[in-house]
Structure 1
């Protein structure tokens, strides 16, 4: 079965955090890795890393890209997949 990654343009992603104990997330393309302290997800907006304690994936709907994470959530960090060429510094542009 072939999987197709869709770009973040035009796709919606929502993140709801309730009392740092329950996270509801949509727009998930793939679960990269998970354990009870860290869950890494590929989303339509980039890679999302969720860190905490006693983390569990309660509901994973692959068709719709929805997931519910339970546990003590300490941080959520998005990492974009933009290329460095798009973000050239002013100095790099001056010395072309």
Structure 2
């Protein structure tokens, strides 16, 4: 897959999202996990912030190197915003 341009112009990591039966979501191109709890997961991508709302959400897998993430739970909504990712999110705090 070719690189695509992000909101600021430079090439971005390819981003994809697959949802299965509103129970499982796999996301690629994740640059940071801003926050998460059982009802909301906020992810930073090169294409903007992705907010996932639901119930009993839990992250199954995070691959920091590839930017892949999978989660399960009852998914209510997926929302993108054009907000640029903030620095110092979950990964930044985890690996200090």
* TM-score normalised by L of structure 1: 0.74
Structure in which a larger fraction of residues adopt strand = 2
> Could you tell me how far apart the structure 2 residues matched to 1:66 and 1:59 are?
8
* TM-score normalised by L of structure 2: 0.74
What is the aligned-residue RMSD (CA, Å)? 1.5
Instruction: For residues 50-85 of structure 1, give each alpha carbon's deviation from its aligned partner in whole angstroms, at most 9, with x where no partner exists.
Output: 000000000000110000010000000000137xxx
Displaced runs of 4 or more, over 4 A:
none
> Could you tell me how far apart the structure 1 residues matched to 2:24 and 2:47 are?
20
Match of 1:63 in 2: 65
Structure in which a larger fraction of residues adopt helix = 1
| Structure 2 unmatched runs, 5+ | 85-96
In the alignment of these two chains, the number of paired residues is: 76
> Could you tell me how far apart the structure 2 residues matched to 1:45 and 1:10 are?
8
